Structure 1
Amino acid sequence: MTDLIYEPDKNRFRMPTPAGDAIVSIRWEGDVMVLPHAEVPSALRGTGAGAKLAKGVFEQIEAMGVKARPTCPFLLKVAKSDPRWQNLFGV
């Protein structure tokens, strides 16, 4: 996987790609990391880059051991597609 960078000072995860950065924005509600938005460069839409980004972010959240809640419809769709992520997020 392309390197995923957690940038807490910018409230996001960033995945550099040749077409530009793919991002998942975050915000904190108490001790819960909320994931309201994911975006990939338009040239990568439909290529699986968004799912790759989402899974990378989910793996990083899992490794961080923090509570998280995806609210972005795309991230929710990816989370619901795999029992591992269903369990992580309770969806």
Structure 2
Amino acid sequence: MTDQTPEIQLEETGSKGRYFLRGPGGAEAEMTFSKAGEHLMIIDHTEVPDAFRGQGAGLRLVTRAVEEARAAGKKIIPLCPFANAQFKRHPEWADVLKS
């Protein structure tokens, strides 16, 4: 039996980047961000197509960004409404939230 959960991938180009999941039929869920210096990430957009709805894909993407920011000593500004809502639901992420 194979794992049906797609792996989160990261693409970065210059000061922009995205975490994404590629699903059946090429559907992609993504969370885009901008880098503001070496220690700050601005999450600006999260998009989850119908193929991923109800699977926690958006939360997985934001969680991955939080984990990587924490490991790298970075802070996050969640401009995206979805990411901002997730930060409010997860007070344990306060250490990476740029106040």
The bucket for the TM-score relative to the shorter chain is 0.7 to 0.9
Pick aligned residue for 1:3 from 1, 7, 27: 7
- Give matches, 1:1-91, under 5 Å: 2-9=6-13, 11-18=17-24, 20-31=27-38, 32-90=40-98
- TM-fit CA distance, 1:33: 1.3
Q: Which runs of 4+ in 1 moved over 3 A?
A: none
Q: Between Structure 1 and Structure 2, how many residues are aligned?
A: 91
- Is contact 2:18-2:31 (8 Å) kept? yes
Q: What TM-score do the two structures reach when normalised by structure 1?
A: 0.78
Identity of aligned residues (%): 32
Paired residues of 2:75 and 2:98 also in contact (CA < 8 A):
no
TM-score (norm 2): 0.73
**Over aligned residue pairs, what C-alpha RMSD do you find?**
2.2
Partner Cα distance (1:61, 1:17) in 2: 25
1:63-91 Cα offsets, whole Å, 9 max, x none, are: 23222211101001111111221232156
Q: Which runs of 5+ in 1 are unaligned?
A: none
CA distances 1:40-84 after superposition (whole Å, capped 9, x unpaired): 122222432211222122212222322221110100111111122
